[in-house]
Amino acid sequence: MPDSEIISIGELIVEIMRKQVDSPFDRPDDFIGPFPSGAPAIFADQAARLGHRVAFIGAVGEDDFGKCLLDRFAQDGVDSQYVARISGLATGVAFVTYFSDGSRQYIFHIGNSAAGRLPRPQAEMFTGAKWLHICGSTLSASEAMRQACYQACQMAAQAGARISFDPNLRPELLGGEEPLRRVCQPVLEMASLVLPSSTEAELLSGVEGTEAACQALLNGGVEIVALKRGEAGCTIFTESGTISVPGYQVYAIDPTGAGDCFDAGFIGGLIEELDLEEIGRLANACGALGTTRKGPMEGAAPRAAAFELAELKDKL
């Protein structure tokens, strides 16, 4: 098997969601699922559906939820040879409920599940890799998981790969701004690409104001900051200047995972050496399409659909 271009590491979980909006967790009501999930897993699946060689480092239990995840990876072409099957622990789960004001509430079972037992990174995993992708949700889940991510960053850098980082803040996993900033710092110091929201840019940099925060990240050594602006699109910050790329209007059903799909489109565009405006269009298209189906991984777009929406059919 050829070396993977992209390595993703982190939580492999299934998501169980409320069927109805405005249904809090503290009362009986219906759920649907399981849906394959986990921010780094959604990213990996979308990158593979765009046609890139992707491998995942993670763990599942020897149960049907684990089979659900591995079957999806097999279907979409994600290499799961570094996914451990942990006996005696259940596959990780996230419960989510949505509210009519657009907010979400989660209950996570990650650090105390098989998802929290990431395999120890090995140097050979990163041979030939161009990118290693890290998510803040993984760093927040447990000390063991963040140490595995820190080790992976060191090994990837030694192998010549670049580091991408989505802060993907999950307050439910690790409370307080200072702890979040502290656990993110070792990855941020090595990252070539950071893909934050406005709030995340300010938190990571410690600077108020979105543009000033993104500039501070560049000043700290990041090469590209791809600021996610939801349906408004994205703004790309580099030392050469700033590019704003408008988003796409779609009928949104489920926003979970859209940011991870955006990340995959952005990194895929970098690997394919598109120009920054084209990369922004592809990332925006993946993010938009990611919202169009219920379930965090269900909207991950095939290459043709993403390139068509991004008006990049000539690049297919």
Q: Given this model, what pLDDT does residue 173 score? A: 60
Residue 147 lies in a domain: yes
Q: How far is CA 3 from the centre of its chain?
A: 21
Buried b (16+ CB within 10 A) or exposed e, 93-129: bbbbbbeeeeeeebebebbebbbbbbeebeeebbeeb
CATH classification at residue 141: 3.40.1190.20
Residue 114 lies in a domain: yes
The CA distance from 131 to 171, in Å, is 27
| Containing structural domain, residue 208 | 6-311
**Which of 209, 234, 208, 204 lies closest to 221 in space, CA to CA?**
204
Residue 251 lies in a domain: yes
The CA distance from 220 to 283, in Å, is 24
The residues of the chain scoring below 50 in pLDDT are none
The CA distance from 215 to 205, in Å, is 9
Give the count of alpha carbons within 13 A of 260, CB side only.
Answer: 31
**Which of 181, 189, 140, 188 lies closest to 165 in space, CA to CA?**
188
Assess contact for 291 and 258: CB atoms under 8 A. yes
Dihedral, 315, 75, 59, 255 alpha carbons, nearest 10: 60
Q: Given this model, what pLDDT does residue 172 score? A: 56
Residue 316 lies in a domain: no
Assess contact for 9 and 120: CB atoms under 8 A. no
Assess contact for 64 and 85: CB atoms under 8 A. no
Identify the helix (H) or strand (E) that includes residue 192: strand 191-194
Assess contact for 153 and 190: CB atoms under 8 A. yes
DSSP 134-188: EEHHHHHH-HHHHHHHHHHHHHHHHTT-EEEEE----TTTS-SHHHHHHHHHHHH
Assess contact for 76 and 41: CB atoms under 8 A. no
Residue 241 lies in a domain: yes
Identify the helix (H) or strand (E) that includes residue 7: strand 6-9
What 3-state DSSP class applies to 2? coil
Residue 246 corresponds to which tokens in the numbers above?
């408008």
Label residue 313 exposed, middle or buried (CB < 10 Å: 0-12, 13-18, 19+): exposed
Residue 1 lies in a domain: no
Residue 311: count of CB within 10 angstroms of its CB = 13
For the chain, what percent of residues have pLDDT higher than 90? 90
Task: Domain count for the chain, please give it.
Answer: 1
Q: Given this model, what pLDDT does residue 197 score? A: 96
